[in-house]
Every structure is written in C-alpha cells, then in structure tokens.
Amino acid sequence: MSSLTRASLAHGAVPLVPRLAAPGHRALAGVPSPAVSRYAFLLRPKFVLFTLLMAGLVVLMVNLAFWQLRRLHERRDSNAQITEHVHEGPIALPLVVTPATTDAGVQDEEWRTVTATGTYLPADEVLIRNRSQDSNDGYHVVTPFRTTSGTTVLVNRGWIPLEQQSDTTPTPPAPPTGSVTITGRLRAGQHKGRYFSPTDPPSGRLKQLYRVDIARIGRQVSYPLLPAYLELESTTPAPAGPEPALIALPELDEGPHLSYAVQWFFFSCCAIAGWILAVRRSAKQREEAAERAADIEEGPATGDRVDDTVHPG
C-alpha cells in the first residue's frame, strides 16, 4: 500500500472502487440486459402460440384489405368500360362477335350496344333464378334468338316476378313472333364463382339455371350458340305487355370497397396494438409479482432494526 493510500485511510477517506455501468451503457459480458429479462416470457410456448395467432390474423386482414383494393380497381375499370361503350352507337352483331370470338374478345367488347334481326326460339327458353329488381325477387327470361345470318345468340329479355306460391314456376310472356329486330347490350357469359356458389346439374334438360351459363345451355340445344349473350334494350315490333321488365344498367359507383379496405387496415393495426398492450401488461404483472415475492422472502429491512445500545448519560 502506498504512503498516499495509508494517509488517506488515516484521515478516514473512503478508497475509490470501480463503479458499475450506468443504465444505457454496455452491460457486462454474459449478463442479459433488463429489457431481455423482462420479456423472456415471450419464448414460452403459450406466448409463442399467442404471437403466431396474432401475426396470422394481421396477415389475413392485410390481405383482405388489398383484395378490396383490387376489387376497387376492377370496379373502376368496369365503370369506365360501361361508360365508354354505352354511349357509342349500335353496331350490327356480326361485326362485334362471331362463333370464333374468344372469351377475352367478348370481355373487350362487353356492354357495347348491338343490333340483330331474326326470330325467337321460345321452345328452348330458360329461366335464371334468384334475380331481383327494385328489391323484388324473380327470374330473368333467357330466350335463344336465330339471326338472319344463321347464328344463334341468347337474349336476356328481362325480369319477371316470383309467383305468390314460391314453389310454382311462373310462365313468362311469349316473345314476339316472326321477324324481329332487337337492340341490346353485349354481355359475357356467366360462370360459377370460386367459393360458395350454387352449381347447376352438368347434364339433363334444365328449365331453370343459376346463371347465364352459355356452355351449359348449349349442351341442351341442337345448335351452336355465340360466346356472348344480349341484355335486351328494345324490340321492333314491341312486346305485347310490360313484362318481362327490361334490365337497367348497373349503378356506376365504386361500391364499398375503399371503406372495407380502410376497415381491414384499421383492424390489423388494432391487432398489433392489442398484442403490444397485452405483452407490456403481462410483463408489468410479472415484475410486480416478483417484487412481492422478494419482499416476503427478505422480511424486515436491515435499516428498520431498533438501536438498543445503551449510551452513558
């Protein structure tokens, strides 16, 4: 011991000792940081499963949000196509679609106004069930139409209501007979949806179907059908009565897709915030429980002992 150290001790000075690293400085090697120790419980199976569940929900909701955004873009594209095509003048049907036209070609020309002259074939008429108009349930009446050029196209003549007895199939009004000139909107055939969509029997002769499935209707007639159908707008000569009621153009709005996307993004953020709050709350509860347990084990603090030393008066 140096003379300076001995002198310091002789005067009651406290020797200098190394100080522990202050918070925020690098911890000693091999010693976990307080943050790591505080959240070590997240590695337990229960919390791992909880985290995976919340992550799966967030991924699902984000994908649903982007799905709604894709539907919004599709809706905007469809509205633009409808607006463009319905304002163009009518075109003769053979100039727009032929038996060799592909599905993609029909979709490019969809909603275009076309005209054709020919005769209806009511013997092969079918009804499309579960169709509504003005909040009323009913059917669409689809009748083959043989054009003067020799091709046959399906024509959706319009909507008829359900009978008062729901188990009774209504009889639609007959179409005009003889030579008829029609004007209608070109439409692509309808197909079964990917999920939860009813299916028509693949064989047999059907009088009712769930959709205007051109391929399915074509299997029960003896002549080929064009790969598109028409939504009737006008007929010359005019029908005898008000039914079938003509089908109106769809509303050209964007629908609820944007608001649904925002909702799914909001729900995903709520799930993330909920996970953070749940983890922090659990960590706090565990720290408080550990402090209470430590207090019970230590008993009264050393500084609380009573000084019973007798001092001379």
Length of the chain equals 313
Q: Write the single-letter amino acid at 248.
A: A
Q: Considering only CA atoms, which of 64, 47, 66, 63 is closest in space to residue 275? A: 47
Q: What is the per-residue pLDDT for 282?
A: 85
Q: What are phi and psi of 81, to 5 degrees?
A: -65, -40
Both tokens assigned to 171: 């009889």
Q: Specify whether the CB–CB gap between 182 and 237 falls below 8 A.
A: no
Task: Output the pTM of the full model.
Answer: 0.70
Residues 6+ apart with CB under 8 A from 88: 112, 113
In tens digits, what is the pLDDT along the chain, a chain of 313 residues? 555 445 444 444 444 444 444 444 454 455 455 555 777 777 888 888 988 999 999 999 999 999 999 999 999 999 999 999 988 889 999 999 999 999 999 999 999 999 999 999 999 999 999 999 988 999 999 999 999 999 999 999 999 998 766 667 788 999 999 999 999 999 999 988 777 788 888 888 999 999 999 999 999 999 999 999 999 999 999 888 889 999 998 888 899 999 999 999 999 999 999 989 988 888 888 877 778 888 787 766 555 554 555 455 4
Both tokens assigned to 129: 């069930």
Q: What are phi and psi of 85, to 5 degrees?
A: -80, -35
Q: What are phi and psi of 180, to 5 degrees?
A: -135, 140
Q: What is the CA radius of gyration of the chain?
A: 40
Q: What is the per-residue pLDDT for 291?
A: 80
Q: Specify whether the CB–CB gap between 164 and 187 falls below 8 A.
A: no
Q: Considering only CA atoms, which of 61, 244, 40 is closest in space to residue 138? A: 244
